[in-house]
Amino acid sequence: MKPAQGRKVYVAEKAILVQAICGRTDRAVAGDSLAELERLAETVGAVVVGCITQRRDAPTPQFYLGEGKLSDVQLACRQAGADLVIFDNDLSPIQVNNLDLALGLKVIDRTELILQIFANRARSAEAQIQVELAQLQYLVSRIPVSEKQHRYAGGIGMRGPGESPLQLRNAPMRRRISDLKRKLADIQARRDRAREKRDHHAMPLLCLVGYTNAGKSTLLNVFTRADAYVDDRLFATLDTKTRAVFLPDGTRAMLTDTVGFIRHLPHGLVASFRSTLDVAVGADLLVVVAEANHPRVADHLAVVRDTLADIGADRVPSLLVMNKCDALADDAARAEVMSRYPEAIAISAKTGDGLDNLKRAMGERLNDVIRNRNTDRKPAGSVATGD
């Protein structure tokens, strides 16, 4: 079937994934990171046509890889007809420029790939401001040495809100960064004023946090009929969505979904999305959602803990939830996971298994938090009296 005349036909870019395993990095951890990079590439619309890895003591200053392995990458790109090379490592501006010119192809790293996904998924005005700010802060040190570089020829790589890289130069970029920071500061100030207006009788706030694709949006939909967007891809949710939820003891609370975390989440994104992530800082209870069936669930939880600490939410009371228990092989596998996380609540947001237990646990934990907070607020030396 021929496309309609004048209609642009999208052709997916073919990508070669490259990973340098440096130092004492465990091979299993590196393998999981590469598999995750493949999912990120597919999320942005690329077709992965090959993977190349190299173990070395340290990256080279010029190309990150050794020159011999760089030749292997060149050969693989020619044989596969690749349009794009994606590194699982964070590249310096000099390395990106050198690789662009040496390979004759567009080269991006993991950070730029994640930024591209956020740019594609940003829907609200606030999310678009946050993504554009993160992109500009990343690009400010990566102004092209030569306009012949293939990374600026279009396709995957920094297309999204804002101007295109060829239009950007240092001074305009910095002015735009300052402008976007002011806009986000205004948003944050409005949020702070709204939070100050919350009195002791306001509804308690529960916040869903976790690794990307853990099932937070599905859980929000099941509990609140929120109709939040759900997709089996990374970073399906960028904007927070808040809905009312009724707990078994009759308590009415607000439940908020947040953007998922990921290993090596770009610092610029964390900083730019701070106004969005700040909802976790002000929550009464964090509901930490994890994939029970993921082989690296411990690593995912470590990333969540580190990110929460980074945004200042590590002291907020939390409740651990092991989601997707229906995807475990059998009862023995489920028992093994729960033995490692005995404090967790086992559920399946997809099938509904364990959701009543989770709601009950959320209510009990929330009541404990509120009770402890009220106790802490009592004046020193006060004595309870009868009627």
Domain locations in the chain as residue ranges: 14-121, 122-145+166-197, 199-375
Close Cβ partners of 370 (under 8 Å, ≥ 6 residues apart): 204, 284
Strand ranges (DSSP E) for the chain? 14-22, 47-56, 84-87, 106-109, 205-210, 241-246, 252-257, 285-291, 318-323, 345-346
Closest alpha carbon to 237 in 256, 250, 263, 264: 256
Q: How many residues does the chain have?
A: 387
The predicted pLDDT at position 154 comes to 57
Closest alpha carbon to 321 in 243, 219, 246: 219
**199-375 shares the fold of 14-121:** yes
The predicted pLDDT at position 144 comes to 56
Closest alpha carbon to 18 in 97, 99, 81, 98: 99
Q: Supply 194's token pair.
A: 């709204």
Looking at the chain, the whole-number percentage of residues with pLDDT higher than 70 is: 80
Q: Supply 101's token pair.
A: 């010119």
Per-run averaged pLDDT (10 residues), the chain, 387 residues:
46 91 87 92 92 94 94 95 94 91 92 87 81 87 58 59 55 88 86 64 86 90 73 61 89 89 80 75 94 93 93 93 93 93 95 94 93 69 42
What does pTM read for this prediction? 0.79
Strands of the sheet containing 345-346, edge to edge, are 241-246, 252-257, 205-210, 285-291, 318-323, 345-346
What is the identity of the amino acid at 30?
A
- What CA–CA distance (Å, rounded) separates 252 from 363? 10
Close Cβ partners of 37 (under 8 Å, ≥ 6 residues apart): 17, 19, 86, 88, 110, 113
- What CA–CA distance (Å, rounded) separates 19 from 353? 39
Evaluate whether 206 touches 284 at the Cβ level (below 8 Å).
Answer: yes
Closest alpha carbon to 139 in 126, 122, 152, 128: 152
The predicted pLDDT at position 271 comes to 74
The predicted pLDDT at position 383 comes to 42
Name the burial class of residue 143, with classes exposed (0-12), middle (13-18) and buried (19+) by CB atoms within 10 angstroms of its CB. Answer: middle
Q: Supply 176's token pair.
A: 């735009």
Name the burial class of residue 340, with classes exposed (0-12), middle (13-18) and buried (19+) by CB atoms within 10 angstroms of its CB. Answer: exposed
14-121 has CATH 3.40.50.11060 classification: yes
* Reported CATH class of domain 199-375: alpha beta
The predicted pLDDT at position 382 comes to 45
The predicted pLDDT at position 162 comes to 58
The predicted pLDDT at position 198 comes to 58
- What CA–CA distance (Å, rounded) separates 70 from 346? 46
The predicted pLDDT at position 238 comes to 61
Please name the helix (run of DSSP H) or strand (run of DSSP E) that holds residue 259, with its range, or none: none
Helices 170-196 & 125-139 angle (0-180, nearest 10): 140
The predicted pLDDT at position 239 comes to 64
